[in-house]
Amino acid sequence: MDAFLSNGNASAFIVRDTGDLLAAWGILHLRSPGATPQYNGSCEAANGSHTKNTNDQAALAGHPDHWTSKDLQQARMIRNRLGRWIPKIILMRAQADITAAIMTVMALLAGAVPTWGGERDGGGPAAQETVVRAANGEDSSPRQLERLVFLSHPYAWELQFARHPESAETYRWANFSAANLVAMERRVSSRWPQEIRKLGSKDALILNYFGGRPPDAELEKGPIAPLLRAAREHLGDRYLLLFGTQPRNEWGREIQRQLRERGYTYDPAMVLTESWGQSTEGCVVNFAAHFAEGMGLAKGFPMRYELTFPDAPFAMTGNFLERVALGDSDVSLYLSESKEGRSFAIFFPGVLRDGESNRYVELVVDPASVEFTNKKGEPVTVPREEGRFRVPLYVDGYGLPVYIWEKDIKAPALKAALAAARVSPRAPE
CATH number of 31's domain: 3.30.420.10
- Indicate the pLDDT class of residue 30, thresholds 50, 70 and 90: low
The three-class DSSP label of residue 234 is helix
* pLDDT tens digits, 112-143: 333 333 333 444 444 445 444 444 545 556 79
Name every residue whose Cβ is closer than 8 Å to that of residue 175 and which is 6 or more positions away in sequence.
Answer: 313
Q: Is the pLDDT of residue 178 over 90?
A: yes
State the average pLDDT for the chain: 78
* Total number of domains in the chain: 3
If DSSP states are collapsed to H, E and C, what string results for 132-179?
Answer: HHHHCCCCCCCEEECEEEEEECCCHHHHHHHHCHHHCCCCEECCEEHH
> Do residue 305 and residue 177 come from a single domain?
yes
Cα gap 1→70, rounded to integer Å: 17
Domain boundary at 81, 102, 133, which? 81
Instruction: Determine the pLDDT at residue 399.
Output: 80
> Do residue 361 and residue 226 come from a single domain?
no
Judge whether 229 lies within some domain.
yes
Please, are residues 358 and 350 in contact by the beta-carbon 8 Å criterion?
Answer: no
> Do residue 280 and residue 321 come from a single domain?
no
> Do residue 280 and residue 337 come from a single domain?
no
Instruction: Determine the pLDDT at residue 215.
Output: 92
Judge whether 23 lies within some domain.
yes
Read off the pLDDT of each residue in 44-66 and give the average, rounded to a whole number.
43
Q: What is the DSSP letter of 238?
A: G
Is pLDDT larger for residue 41 or for residue 26? 26
Read off the pLDDT of each residue in 5-34 and give the average, rounded to a whole number.
54
Q: Is the pLDDT of residue 379 over 60?
A: yes
Q: Comparing C-alpha atoms, which of 412, 416, 370 is closest to residue 391?
A: 370
Cα gap 63→242, rounded to integer Å: 8
- Indicate the pLDDT class of residue 20, thresholds 50, 70 and 90: low
Task: Look up the pTM and report it.
Answer: 0.69
Cα gap 286→349, rounded to integer Å: 9
> Do residue 341 and residue 403 come from a single domain?
yes
Cα gap 44→81, rounded to integer Å: 10
Instruction: Determine the pLDDT at residue 167.
Output: 93
Instruction: Determine the pLDDT at residue 425.
Output: 82
Read off the pLDDT of each residue in 280-297 and give the average, rounded to a whole number.
96
- Indicate the pLDDT class of residue 63, thresholds 50, 70 and 90: very low
Instruction: Determine the pLDDT at residue 116.
Output: 33
Run of H or E including 185: helix 178-189
Residue 415 C-beta-side C-alpha neighbours within 13 Å = 14
> Do residue 188 and residue 278 come from a single domain?
yes
Domain boundary at 275, 296, 311, which? 311
Name every residue whose Cβ is closer than 8 Å to that of residue 412 and which is 6 or more positions away in sequence.
Answer: none
Q: Is the pLDDT of residue 313 over 80?
A: yes
The phi and psi torsions of 254 (rounded to 5 degrees) equal -65, -40
Residues recorded for the chain: 429
What is the domain range of residue 391?
A: 312-428
Is pLDDT larger for residue 136 or for residue 171? 171
Instruction: Give buried/exposed letters for 172-190 (b at 16+ CB in 10 A, else e).
Output: eeeebebebbbebbeebbe
> Do residue 305 and residue 317 come from a single domain?
no
